[in-house]
Amino acid sequence: MNQAGLQHSSFDEEVVRIDSTGGVTVRTGLSAMGQGIQTALAQVAAQTLGVPLDSVTVLSGDTENSPFTGYGTGASRGAALGGGALLRASTRLREKVLRIAAEILEASADDLVVEDGRIFVAGAAGGPSVTMREIGDATYRRLDGRLPAGETPTLEERDVLDPDNVAFSYGTTAVLAEVDRETGRVTLLDYLIAHDCGTVINPTIVDGQLHGGAAQAIGGALYEEIVYSPEGQPLTTTFMDYLIPTAAEIPPFETLHLTTTADHIPGGFKGMGEGGTIGGAAAIVAAIEDALPDLGLRITRVPVTPPRLLDLIDQADRKEGDRA
């Protein structure tokens, strides 16, 4: 019997490694396609391990060297699943680094902190310390027997995250629109997105994705349409025919970040790729209806092009005339 729904695994696997020179490499099965996943993963590893961001290299796109991921890049899962798995792996790797550093510094691992690639006793930043490079040297080369008893001579951790449920994001869109009754032209004056994607890894990347999604929503609501002839032949064949919004049509965006962490995802991360797109068309259509309250318009089709809106206005005017 065939079962409805997506019959596919949803886990993600991440690998993080510190080499003998203290450099960090992250291997991921997620694909970078402009969403900033490499930067986000590098930030998670750098912050968790306590190393500079520029010391982290993220490798992806090679199935021979990258770990397998259950679903891949899609469904706004990259930061949540990949970031969560990498956070757990990096946390375990950091604990091993601290154990090795404790052996070298003759201190307790619980008393050590990592900051900018240097490990030292908490409250004694100017005292004895070891660098991540020295940790790498001690782990892989063990030139003077500084590796603690029982520790394997590598610095690599792997984690597979397969959460019990997905992490839902939340958001809303508010639009201020102006309608010209004579031409049917709609001008967007202001655009607000309030969004909750859990822990924000990189605000600039989140804003960029939300703004890009909102631009896509504006295109779908007001401009973009594939037109066919009565015989079913496409008439929209070039960008001369298929309108897309440009910078001149995009209003200023305001973004509010709210934070409700996902308790079942390490780090509290949630997806947010579609957040700018989903509510945009509905908000724009509602704003157009609200701008013409006397007509009682009910718009059920997008894009709301000037000819289409003028036709709706004309129909409403005729109905009002018939009632009069």
Q: Mind listing the pLDDT tens digit for each residue in 38-60?
A: 999 999 999 999 999 999 999 99
Q: Which pLDDT value is given to residue 323?
A: 66
pLDDT at position 143: 58
Q: Which residue's structure tokens are 């005729």?
A: 318
User: In degrees, to the nearest 5, what angle opens at C-alpha 146 toward C-alphas 141 and 149?
Assistant: 105
CATH number assigned to the domain with residue range 170-323, chosen from the 4 options 3.30.450.40, 3.30.1300.10, 1.10.357.10, 3.30.365.10: 3.30.365.10
The H or E element containing residue 137 is helix 132-140
pLDDT for 271 equals 84
**Domain 12-161 belongs to what topology?**
Aldehyde Oxidoreductase; domain 4 (3.30.365)
Could you read off the pLDDT of 136-191 as tens digits, one per residue? Answer: 998 988 756 677 888 888 999 999 998 888 778 888 999 999 999 999 999 999 99
Q: Identical fold at 12-161 and 170-323? A: yes
Question: How far lies 266's CA from each of 12, 167, 175, 197, in Å?
Answer: 13, 11, 34, 14
Q: What is the average pLDDT score of the chain?
A: 90
Please report which confidence band the pLDDT of residue 1 belongs to, taking 50, 70 and 90 as the band edges.
very low
For residue range 191-229, list pLDDT tens digits in order.
999 999 999 999 999 999 999 999 999 999 999 999 999
Tokens 């992806």, residue? 60
Mean pLDDT of 110-115: 94
- The span from the CA of 46 to the CA of 230, in Å, is 58
Would you say the C-alpha torsion 130, 119, 55, 13 has a positive or negative sign?
A: positive
Say yes or no to pLDDT of 106 above 70. Answer: yes
Domain residue extents for the chain: 12-161, 170-323
pTM: 0.85
Segment of 24-38, 137-151, 225-239, 255-269 carrying the highest mean pLDDT: 225-239
Q: Which of 43-52, 124-133, 270-279 has the highest mean pLDDT?
A: 43-52
